[in-house]
Amino acid sequence: MPELPEVQTIANDLEKKIVGKTIIGFWSDYKKAVRPSFAKFRRGVTGRKIIGIERYGKMLVLNLSAGRYGLGGDYSIVIHLKMIGHLLFKELGRETSKFFEEKINQYIHHIIYFKNGDTLAVSDLRKFAWLRLAETTKVGKMKEIVSLGIDALGADLSFKRFEKLLEKRQNSKIGTALLDQKWLAGVGNIYRSEILFEAKLHPERIIKRLTVGERKKLHQALRTILKKAVKMRGTSTIDYRDTAGKKGRFQNALRAYGREGEKCLKCGTKIEKIKLAQRSVFFCPKCQK
Ligand SMILES: [Zn+2]
């Protein structure tokens, strides 16, 4: 499942590849995933230019210029890639990227066509991803966005703000709280284990018992790990691909996630696994106190 660093990588790619381009058409063979309806979506996006890309949690927002046809006002395309959906950008004349030949990149269900011949497609084996045309002023009010907590990569998540956030979940285990998107948006199962390993904190520690020093370490670890993951273009354990159909590289840098029974890279103790918030969390019982 794409987590925050993967969606941020896609947003960064789109910023470079599609901003300034005009949409001339839209195709879908799975219209149920297009909202409010396929016809309204196609009419609404055609003739508009992409003027900016935003990310809210794991949702991508493509802001559009005022259009010539159909709906008036400012509109945006909101995309949620859900379980394993991903976006593929194809430049006209460069259609033979060897990555597109990989099976995971061939479940194309939606395509946006640009005036210069480029295309942006959604490949999604499971068909859970969705696209929505929404008035730009209403995007922030969508229920999926309103319910999100503060963004884990947001510039405004200072240590002071993070401390206040911790106070709201005093009695929770830190490993449980980290997965609560309503509390902090963007940390999924993979990065939870990596952040706690970096911070040297046992996943079952109760938040109110963390010292100031530990809180600082946790805040630093959160920022360090997520930024490093964006730099390495995300984690492709199985299915995530970037807009060129290519894997990320952070799976090669994982130190805890998925390493149950293997030796800790710092101390040699065997990595253990427990369940917290219904998902597995991996940790070193010696390094993480
Ligand atoms: Zn260790």
Residue 92: the pLDDT is: 79
Residue 84: the pLDDT is: 87
Q: With a cut of 60, say whether residue 50 has pLDDT above it.
A: yes
Q: With a cut of 80, say whether residue 93 has pLDDT above it.
A: no
Share of the chain above pLDDT 90, in %: 85
Contact between 286 and 186 under an 8 Å Cβ cutoff? The reply is no
pLDDT band at 95 (very low <50, low <70, confident <90, very high): low
**Rounded to two decimals, what is the model's pTM?**
0.92
pLDDT band at 28 (very low <50, low <70, confident <90, very high): very high
- For 206, the 3-state DSSP assignment is strand
Residue 3 is among the residues annotated as catalytic for this protein: yes
Q: How far apart are CA 245 and CA 86, in angstroms?
A: 8
Cis peptide before 36 (omega within 30 of 0): yes
Nearest of 269, 261, 276, 285 to residue 197 by alpha carbon: 285
Contact between 82 and 34 under an 8 Å Cβ cutoff? The reply is no
Q: How far apart are CA 77 and CA 33, in angstroms?
A: 13
Residue 72: the pLDDT is: 56
Residue 238: the pLDDT is: 77
Q: What is the pLDDT of residues 205-252, one digit of tens each?
A: 999 999 999 999 999 999 999 999 999 999 998 789 999 999 999 999
Residue 285 is among the residues annotated as catalytic for this protein: no
Residue 36 is among the residues annotated as catalytic for this protein: no
Q: How far apart are CA 251 and CA 238, in angstroms?
A: 10
Residues ≥6 apart with Cβ < 8 Å to 198: 221, 224, 225, 255
Q: Which CATH class is domain 150-283?
A: mainly alpha
Question: 212-231 and 4-17 are packed helices; what angle lies between their axes, rounded to 10 degrees?
Answer: 40
CA 263 to ligand 1 center in whole angstroms: 8
Q: How far apart are CA 283 and CA 264, in angstroms?
A: 9
Q: Which of 17, 48, 55, 58 is catalytic?
A: 58
Q: Could you tell me the residue ranges of all domains in the chain?
A: 4-146, 150-283
Domain 4-146 has CATH 3.20.190.10: yes
Phi then psi for residue 42, to 5 deg, are -65, -45
CA 9 to ligand 1 center in whole angstroms: 30
CA 239 to ligand 1 center in whole angstroms: 29
Please give the average per-residue pLDDT across 36-64, as a whole number. Answer: 95
Nearest of 172, 246, 247 to residue 209 by alpha carbon: 172
Q: Which of 40, 49, 246, 279 is catalytic?
A: 279
Residue 126 is among the residues annotated as catalytic for this protein: no
Spell out which residues have Cβ within 5 A of ligand 1, the ion.
Answer: 264, 266-267, 269, 284, 286-287
Structure tokens at 285: 């019982």
End-to-end alpha-carbon separation of the chain, Å? 29
